Amino acid sequence: MKSNTFDTIVVGAGMSGGWAAKEFSEQGFKTLLLERGPHVEHIKDYPTTNWQPWEFKHRGRLTTKDKEENPIASRCYAFREDAKHFFVKDNAHPYGQVKPFDWIRGYQVGGKSIMWARQVQRWSSFDFEGPARDGYAVDWPIRYKDLAEWYTYVERFVGVSGNKDGLDILPDGDFLKPWETNAVEDYFSKEVKKHYADRHVIYGRCAHLTESKPQFIEQGRGLCMSRQICQRGCPLGGYFNVNSTLIPWALKTGNLTLRPHAVVHSVLYDEDQQKAVGVRVIDAQTKEQTDYFAKVVFVTAATLNTNLILLNSKSKRFPNGLGNDNGLMGKYIAFHNYRATINAQYEGFPNLTTEGAKPTSHYVPRFRNVYRQETDFLRGYAAGFGASRQRLTQREGYGDSLKEQLLQTKESGIWNVNSHMMGETLPKASNQVHLDPEIVDQWGIPQLNIDVDYDDNDEKMIQDFFEQFSEMYTKAGFVNIVTRDNKRRPGNDIHEMGGVRMGTDPETSLLNRWNQLHHCKNVFVTDGACMTSTSTQNPSLTFMALSARAANYAIAEMKKGNL
């Protein structure tokens, strides 16, 4: 037992867990970081990172067999020949679906931080106040002012490229210089500002290094070269992932023990001490069971797996899952609606083109229902915006004639423009996960059954996006406007949140303002499971800020002897 005892245990070596592990280790606490998948060491374990296109057997594409064996994972934009090894395969980790749900997972050290889309935006006061304003879901126990300093703390370590935009709906951060934008992106931004006082088209803030600073040099990271193949893992460390930053930083303290291949079965609760005392782990390879012990446990296994672990953490005191006295664990799951897209063309700037590339696009912050309720749906949506020159390629013939034609690719003088919606879905009790009575994994652990779907609010939001962006595109002089509902399933956005939500009242929530379980104060949840609502921003930056904040609170409480 002595050799298996630590000050803190962190479950899950992704973004949230990586931040918790860094904070504890850096401040002198012996920390065990558990990851159910294999170790992925920075650079060494990025097998395809420097491959050229011709080195891929299928030129980067998926085979028919890949798609047939992975109908869920293969619907993810990054599940391609160059990065599919970082994704969970469908047949290896089954789960139940009451309604279709694409659960996209990355089981390895670093988690999905290796393959993520790297967009980072702060939440605003409007986002934290949303549930209180419209009465839907429970009020957040914190506000923007509680998290502002932690956003800055995280941004300075991660490295975020962005502009100071001065928007109340999207607070500015601690930014590195932005990438250069193109003529049509700038043009659309000016046109929207000309026609709308409350709408903005801004540079998409991204977790990429555009400047070298002492903290990045100390991390061993180089500048982003915009290779546009981030999902393979970056040997330069040009974008942020856990593998190149948080974990090496924590390991060099000598206080972190990293254990991969450790499938967490449950959190252990001691009836006499009335607190959690550790976790039960099953070795992914040998299936040997081991218990580890600590004063504090952070469960950061990613939203749905965190729900799974806590629901499986049963005891005499908590027969329905650790801290689940009110029966709400697993309920109020929400996500981001990516179903709506719009494409068009622009015939302006025919003599201008683009040179090189950048790892981000433009971003349209939410403008619906911000200052008042103005539509027949609640909350709102953000959107992306991108523009690129149309290139024409002739593909007739074969052999030498085909090669010659491919080399004669020309630009038409027309620009293609596009946007996609990222809508806020409402957390509802009917959107839930529960333990399936029959499905168990290869380690004998009961698995989730997922019951999550869109609703009428989402459908109304989609139609509003089509109407508003069609109008904005038309006013900008874009032509051949085409809207499309791509019918993406819930989960394919990879932004699922909730199930172990924060709040002030133990009757209606599971976590307090410091991310502690109301009824088991030495267990913290700081990943997407803790979210009370989803807002419209990409959530990773908020997960990291919440994790850093909660870890430092736990550290202070441990030093006082309160945990």
3-state secondary structure of 472: helix
Give the per-residue pLDDT at 187.
98
**What is the per-residue pLDDT across 336-376, written as a single tens digit (0 to 9) for each?**
999 999 999 999 999 999 988 999 999 999 999 999 999 99
Calculate the alpha carbon distances from 350 to 354, 391, 415, 551 in Å.
Answer: 11, 12, 8, 53
* pLDDT digit string, tens, across residues 139-192: 999 999 999 999 999 999 999 999 999 999 999 999 999 999 999 999 999 999
Q: Map residue 8 onto helix, strand or coil.
A: strand
What average pLDDT does the segment 481-509 reach? 98
Q: How, if at all, do strands 432-440 and 446-451 pair?
A: antiparallel
Q: Which residue has the tokens 């939500």?
A: 501
Q: What is the pLDDT of residue 370?
A: 96
Distances (CA, A) of 430 to 328, 427, 491: 11, 9, 16
Average pLDDT of the chain, as a whole number = 97
Distances (CA, A) of 505 to 219, 319, 517: 41, 21, 11
Estimate the crossing angle of helix 456-475 against helix 183-195, to 10 degrees. 100
Instruction: List helix spans (H) across 363-455.
Output: 399-406
pLDDT for the residue 477: 98
Q: Record the tokens describing residue 533, joined without a space.
A: 């609502």
| Cα–Cα separations (whole angstroms), residue 184 to 126, 178, 341 | 30, 17, 18
Report the distance separating Cα 79 and Cα 106, nearest Å.
11
End-to-end CA separation in angstroms for the chain: 20
Q: What is the reported pLDDT for 394?
A: 79
* pLDDT for 126 beyond 90: yes
What is the per-residue pLDDT for 1? Answer: 78
What percent of the chain has pLDDT above 90? 94
Report how far residue 499's alpha carbon sits from residue 313's, in angstroms, rounded to the nearest whole number: 15
Least confident of 78-82, 322-326, 399-403, 510-514: 399-403
In this prediction, residue 412 carries a pLDDT of: 82
293 Cβ neighbours under 8 A, 6+ residues apart: 1, 4, 5, 6, 9, 268, 277, 278
Contact 464, 477 (CB under 8 A): no
Check residue 335 and give its pLDDT: 98
Rounded distance between C-alpha atoms, residue 526 and residue 300, angstroms: 6
Q: What is the CA radius of gyration of the chain?
A: 24
The 10 Å Cβ neighbour count of residue 40 is 24
pLDDT at 409 over 80: no
DSSP of 142-184, one letter per residue? --HHHHHHHHHHHHHHH--B------SSS-----BPPPPPPHH
Which pLDDT belongs to residue 104?
Answer: 98
- Cβ-based neighbour number of residue 439 at 10 Å: 14
CA pair distance 128, 125, nearest whole angstrom: 5
Residue among 452, 470, 459 at smallest CA distance from 377: 459
Q: Domain locations in the chain?
A: 180-204+337-424+454-489
Which tens digits make up the pLDDT trace of 187-215?
999 999 999 999 999 999 999 999 999 99
Burial of 302 (0-12, 13-18, 19+ CB in 10 A): buried
Coil, helix or strand for 293? strand
For the chain, the maximum distance between any two Cα atoms, rounded to a whole number of angstroms, is 80
pTM for the model: 0.97
